[in-house]
A and B are shown apart, each in its own frame.
Chain A
Amino acid sequence: MKRAFPVFGLLTLVLLSFALYEALIGAPTERTMGEVQRIFYYHVSSAWTAFLLFLTNFIASVVYLAKKNSKADAVAAVTAEVGVLFCSVVLVTGPLWARPVWGIWWTWDMRLTLTLVLWLIYVSYLVLRRFSTSSQTAVIAAALSIFGAVDVPLVYFSIWYFRTQHPSPVIGRGGSLDARMWHVLLINWAAFLCFAFLICWSRYRLERLRRDVEETQALEALLEPRGVR
């Protein structure tokens, strides 16, 4: 297990480098938008990764509420944090694509607004976990994450069911993405998934360690005044 982490880390680094090369050089240039369309490979990959992390957070939260399993709670805390990280990338790369293509940085359309709301829900989830001193913090956070998860399908399907300025779907129903672009997108998504898994792995270990330290500190504080040590 100790050797698996650096080996997987190295493989992820190779995959990320290859994905970056494919996105910037390998992929064909889009006819109307030109080079700026290449932002799509990082923007979409980050969005899909964030959705998957929020879905994992939702499952872990439900498991925690059902079984009060502390490992599930740790998984929920970690996936929400890494999900916010990838969602932040989506919210930064989006306007950087919109400015040259639409002529504006931001517009309050359904897809963009719902993505911002999603980010805000999970940021409040993290703030709650960080600053709440209640013994019920994990339960409240799990309940909040269920509300947050409702927003994920709304964000995803908003371009199908609402009139938005966001580009119409190029993937799935009615999609017209070039085969080579599809290939590059999938490589980038795979690289981001490996990277997200790697971060979650190390962050999970850190979270477990932090909880162990906190438990030991609390135990020590209880024992100390009575001179049990």
Chain B
Amino acid sequence: MIYLYAAYAATWTIHITYLAWVLLRYRRLRREIYELRKAVR
């Protein structure tokens, strides 16, 4: 049973880590857009 739960937990750990990384990139990009808008003004 431990291998079964480990496989399911590993799957969701991989997916959630990736989603968190995407979210982080999105935030960084939003900050860059904000800086860019400030520079253009």
Contacts and interface: CB of A to CB of B under 8 A. Distances in A.
B4 A213 contact: no
A105 to B, nearest CB: 11
Interface in A3-62: 20, 24, 35-36, 38-39, 42-43, 46
Given A85-B14, A89-B11, A97 B29 contact: no
Contacts of A217: 32, 36
Contact of B11 (A93, A206, A210, A229): A93
| B interface, size bucket | 20 to 34
B40 interface: yes
A46 B7 CA distance: 12
Interface of A: 20, 24, 35-36, 38-39, 42-43, 46, 85, 88-89, 92-93, 96-97, 99-100, 195, 199, 202-203, 206, 209-210, 213, 216-217, 220, 229
Interface of B: 1, 3-4, 6-8, 10-11, 14-15, 18-19, 22, 25-26, 29, 32-33, 36, 39-40
Which 10 pairs from chain A and chain B are nearest by CB? Answer: A96-B7, A39-B7, A93-B7, A92-B10, A96-B3, A89-B11, A100-B3, A85-B18, A42-B11, A36-B3
